[in-house]
A and B are shown apart, each in its own frame.
Chain A
Amino acid sequence: MLNFMLRRLLSAIPTLFILIALAFMLIRAAPGGPFDSEKQLPVEIEANLRTAYHLDEPLYQQFGRYLANLARGDFGPSFQYRDFSVTELIRSGFPVSLRLGGLAMLLALIVGISAGAYAALRQNSAADYSVMTVMMVGISIPNFVVAPLLILLFAVGLRWLPAGGLGDGEARHLLLPVIALAMPQIAYIARLMRGSMIEVLRSPFIRTARAQGLSMPRIIVQHALKPALLPVISYLGPATAAVITGSVVIEQIFGIPGLGRFFVQGALNRDYTLVMGVVVFYGSLIIVFNFFVDLVYGWLDPRVRL
C-alpha cells in the first residue's frame, strides 16, 4: 500500500514536468503577444517591457527560469494584472472555484446517485423513463442556455436570487451557479448509477440476500450500494475535470471571480504566466485527485489490489 502510494507520487513528477513543458511551448507558439493592443506601444517601451518580463532571453533560458521559480513556489508576475503575482491570483481565485465546484459535485452526487438508484429500482417503469428523461436534459441543453434561463427566472423575474457576482460569498449568490454547473454532472452520474445498480441487483449475492428474506431497503443500503458506487467513484476524476471546464462558462455568465475565468482571460490576453500558472495548478490538482480516487476505489473494491 505505502509502496504503491510512493510509486504513484514519484511518477507524478515526470508527468508534471512534461505537462509544464507542453503548456509552455503551446502558449508561446500562439500568435500574438501579451503586449499587443489596439494602441501600439513605442518600440522603446515595448523593449523595456520584454526585458522586464525576460521575454528577450532565448526560450530555453526562459523555461529554465520558469522551472527554477516554480520550484520555489513562485508562478511569476501576471502580464495582465500588472500589480499582482500569479500566486496571488490563484490564491484569490481557487477558493472560489473550489467552493463552487465542490458544492456542484456534492449536489451532483446526491441528486445523481439517488435519482439513478431510484430509476434502477423501478427499471423500465414510467417513473424510470421520466426520471431519466429529466436527467438527460442536463446533458442536452448547453450550460450557456440554462444559466441565463435560471437568471431570467429567479433573479430578473421572481427576484429571489442575485443575477450575478459573489457578494460576500453568501449561499444565495452561489445557488444558481451551483445548480447550473451541477446539471450535466447530475445526468452523467444518474446514468452511471442506474446502470451499475441494475447490474448489481441482478447479481447472485443480492438474489441470495432476497431469498433469505432481507427487506429491500436493507439490501440496498447494506449490500447493493457499495458495489454500485464503483463506476461513479471512477468517474469522479473526469467529473472534476469537467466541472473545472464547465465553470469557465458559469463563472463568465454569473460574474464569479474563479480560476476558470482567470484562465480564459489569461489565454485571450496571452498572459503567459497566468495561463501557465492555472494549467500547472489544475494539472497537479487533477493528478492528486486521480490519486485519491484510486485510493478510494481500492478501499471500496477489495478485488483491486494496490
Chain B
Amino acid sequence: MRHLNIFASSVRLSCFAVVAVLFVGCGGNGAGSPTAAVEIGGPSGTELAVDQTLHVGNGTGPQTLDPHRAEGVPSSNILRDLFEGLTLEAPDGSVVPGAAESWDISADGLVYTFYLREDAQWSNSDPVTAEDFVFSLRRSVDPATMSHYSSILEPIVNAMAVITGKKSPAELGVEALDALTLVIRLQRPTAYFPGLLTHSTMYPVHRASVEQYGNQFAREGRLIGNGAYTLNEWVVQSHIKLIRNKFYRDDVNTTIDSVYYYPIESQDAELKRFRADELDITEEIPYQQLTWIRENLGDQLVISPYLGSYYFGFNMTREPFQNNPQLRRALSLAIDREIITSRITNAGELPAFGWVPQVANYSPVVPEWAGWSQAERDVEAQRLYAEAGYSADKPLKIELLYNTSANHKRLSVAIASMWKQTLGVETELLNQEWKVFLETRQLKKTTQVFRGGWIGDYNDAFTFSQLMHSANAMNHPGYSSPRYDELIERAAGETNLSTRADILNQAERVLLEDMPIIPVYFYVSKHLVKSWVGGRKPNIMDHHYTKNFYILKH
C-alpha cells in the first residue's frame, strides 16, 4: 500500500485527462448499433434499398489488378468482381459454371473440355472466346509475365516447365478447338482442378488491351474484364470503385450498382468506420475487442471456419530440436489449446491437434492425446521433457520468433507462459518486422521456434500436406523425412481419390509422430456485415462475389 501513496498527488492533476477519456468512453458506448428508424427490408423484409452502393473494407490495397501478377487476399477479392474464370463459386463456396457453361472430363481424368457461353462478352462488348483463354493461360505461366502465383497452374501439362523457362509458353497443355471449345490437359487426375479455375491466375485477360498497354493494362480507363463489374476509379491507398459491367452475361441478375473497396490496415480503424456506417462489410475484426463486439454488434458478427492452420514450428536443422522428438512432443503437449481458443483468440477457432484442417474429401487425423485432459498431457509433457535431459536445474532456454502483430504477440506470450508454468522452459520472445522475420525464418540459422500459418490455396488436403515435403521452399521447419516425402509423391500421382486420401492420411500421421510443428488452431474468418447486406453466405475459402449481394431497405 505504501508505494501507492506516492501517486496520490499526481492523481488530482490528471483528473481532467481521466474525465476526457471517460466522457468519450460514454459517448462511444451508446453508439453500438443504432436502431434503424426503418425496419430492415421494409415490412416484407425483402424490399431493396434505392441506393445499391456497397462499401467494403479490404485490408491492404492490391498491388496490381492484373489477375496474373496479383497475389494476396485483397487483390483476389476485387479481381473476383472484375474477371470471371471458367468456373465460379456459389455463395456457399461450391464450384459452379462460370465463363464455361459446362465441361466434360475424360475417363482417365486427364482431359477437360470446356464449352464457353455464347453470350459471354468483355466489358467493351468483344466476345469471350476459347482463344482468349489459351492466350491468357499461356501468359500466366510465361516467365516474362513474372507472375507471383503461376505455380497454381502446376497440374496442367508442361506448366512447371514453362514457368521455369525450360519450355515455351506455346507448349502449355491448352488448346482452342473452336471459338467456344477449350481443352486443358492435365499431368495427372486432379480432383480439385475445377476449384483451381476460380483462382485469379486462371482468369482470362483481354488480349487486345494487353497487347496495347503491356503490363500497364490493368489501370483505370484501360482495364477490360469479363466480370460483373468494371474498374471505375483507383486512388491508391484511398479506394477502388467498381461499377456494373452492362455487358456482363448475367447483368440482369446483378443488384449492387457500385462497390467501393477501401484499403484499411488498422482493424481498429476499420471497426470504427463500420460503426459510423461508412462500411457495410469489414475484412477483419480486432481480436482485442471481440468481447465488446459480441456484446454490442453481435448480430452483425459473421464467423465461420477458414481454410488455414496456425502453428509454431521447430527449426529441425539445429540443436536443440534436431533429432530430439521427445522434446518437441513435450513442448507441443504442454500447450493448452483449449485455453488458447477459448480465452485468447476466442472467435470460435478449433483447437488443432493435427495439421490438415477440415477439407473436402478428407478425414483429418486425430492423435491419441487429443482425447486426453490437459492435466494428462502436462504429465506426459513433463515426463518427455525429463527424458530429453532437462529439469528445473537445467532448464531449456529457447527463443521464440514471431512477426509484429497484436495477435501473434498475445499467442506467443501465452505459449511462453505455458511452457514456463508446465515445464520451466525459459523462453525469450523475439518480435521481428515482417520482412526481417521472413528472412530470418528462411535462413534457419538462429531461429529455434517460430510462428507460422498456412492458408490453403484450394479446398484439398494436398495444399497442406505438400508444404512439409523436404523439397518445398516453404517447409520452414526444414523437416526432412524420406518416408513422408515418399507418401506425398505417391499421393500426387494417385488417381483413385479414396486411395489418395488414405495416403495423405498416412502422411499426416507420420508428420504428427515426428512433430516438426506444433499445430495450435484452425483459422476462422471473421467479418462484420451490416444486417441489410443480403445474399452473402460464409464459406470455407472466404470467397465472395459482389454480384450475389443485395442491399435491403434500411
Contact = CB atoms under 8 A, between A and B. Distances in A.
Interface in A151-204: 151-153, 155-159, 162-166
Contact of B27 (A32, A157, A164): A157
A252 B263 CA distance: 10
A146 to B, nearest CB: 10
B101 interface: no
Interface string B510-527: 000000000000000000
Given A48-B143, A81-B64, A156 B435 contact: no
A252 B23 CA distance: 25
Nearest to A35: B148
Given A49-B146, A162-B276, A255-B273, A83 B64 contact: yes
B434 A152 contact: no
Interface in A255-301: 255-258, 261-262, 265, 268-270
Interface string A76-106: 0000111110000100110000000000000
A37 B163 CA distance: 19
Given A156-B275, A156-B276, A33 B435 contact: yes
A152 B146 contact: no
Contacts of A164: 264, 269, 272-273, 276, 278
Interface in A28-64: 30-33, 36-45, 48-49, 52
B138 to A, nearest CB: 15
B150 interface: yes
A52 B237 CA distance: 25
A25 interface: no
A165 B277 CA distance: 13
A257 B272 contact: no
Interface in B1-54: 17, 20-21, 23-25, 27-28, 30-31
Given A151-B272, A257-B237, A82 B262 contact: no
Contacts of A165: 238-239, 262, 273, 278
Contact of B146 (A40, A52, A262): A52
B439 A152 contact: no
Contacts of B211: none
B71 interface: yes
A41 B215 CA distance: 19
A114 to B, nearest CB: 22
Interface string B452-472: 000000000000000000000
A48 B31 contact: no
B66 interface: yes
Contact of B164 (A33, A44, A83, A141): A44
B272 A149 contact: no
A37 B438 contact: yes
A148 B272 contact: yes
B276 A45 contact: no
A157 B30 contact: yes
A81 B236 contact: yes
A75 interface: no
Contacts of B263: 255
Contacts of B442: 36, 40
A24 interface: no
Nearest to A150: B24
Contact of A82 (B21, B69, B439, B440): B69
B148 A41 contact: yes
Contacts of A242: none
A48 B268 CA distance: 38
Nearest to A270: B435
Nearest to A159: B276
A49 B150 CA distance: 14
Contacts of A157: 24, 27-28, 30-31
Contact of A257 (B151, B238, B265, B435): B238
Nearest to A44: B164
Contact of B66 (A80, A82, A148): A82
Interface in B117-171: 143-144, 146-151, 163-165
B237 A262 contact: yes
Interface string A125-150: 00000000000010001000000110
Interface string B243-272: 000000000000000000011111011001
Contacts of A36: 435, 438-439, 442
B334 interface: no
Nearest to A82: B64
Interface residues of B, number: 60
Contacts of B237: 93, 257-258, 261-262, 265
A149 B474 contact: no
Nearest to A140: B17
A45 B474 contact: no
Contacts of B208: none
B191 to A, nearest CB: 22
Residue of A81, A82, A165, A253 with most partner-chain B CB within 10 A? A82
A241 to B, nearest CB: 22
Given A45-B147, A81-B236, A156-B275, A40 B269 contact: no
Contact of A149 (B21, B69, B148): B21
A254 B269 contact: yes
B260 to A, nearest CB: 9
A261 B27 CA distance: 29
Contacts of A84: 236
Nearest to A254: B269
Given A45-B146, A164-B273, A262-B237, A149 B215 contact: no
B439 A31 contact: yes
Contact of B435 (A149, A162, A262, A269): A269
Contacts of B434: 32, 268
A48 B144 contact: yes
Nearest to B34: A159
A166 B238 contact: yes
B79 interface: no
Contact of A152 (B24, B147, B473): B24
B143 A45 contact: yes
Contacts of B60: 265
The residue in B219, B238, B440 that gathers the most chain A C-beta atoms within 10 A of its C-beta is: B238
A268 B435 contact: yes
A40 B215 CA distance: 22
B433 interface: yes
B438 A32 contact: yes
Contacts of B163: 42, 44-45
Nearest to A157: B27
Contact of A163 (B24, B215, B272): B272
B236 A153 contact: no
B235 interface: yes
A43 B160 CA distance: 12
Contacts of B66: 82-83
Interface string B261-300: 0111110110011011010000000000000000000000
B134 to A, nearest CB: 21
Nearest to A49: B146
Contacts of A37: 71, 148, 438
15 contacts: A30-B436, A31-B435, A33-B439, A37-B438, A83-B64, A83-B216, A137-B17, A148-B272, A153-B23, A156-B27, A163-B272, A166-B238, A252-B265, A252-B269, A253-B266
Nearest 3 pairs of A and B residues by beta carbon: A32-B435, A157-B27, A257-B237
Given A82-B63, A93-B236, A256-B238, 16 more contacts: A36-B438, A39-B71, A40-B473, A41-B148, A83-B64, A83-B215, A93-B237, A153-B23, A158-B27, A163-B272, A165-B238, A252-B265, A253-B266, A254-B269, A255-B238, A258-B237
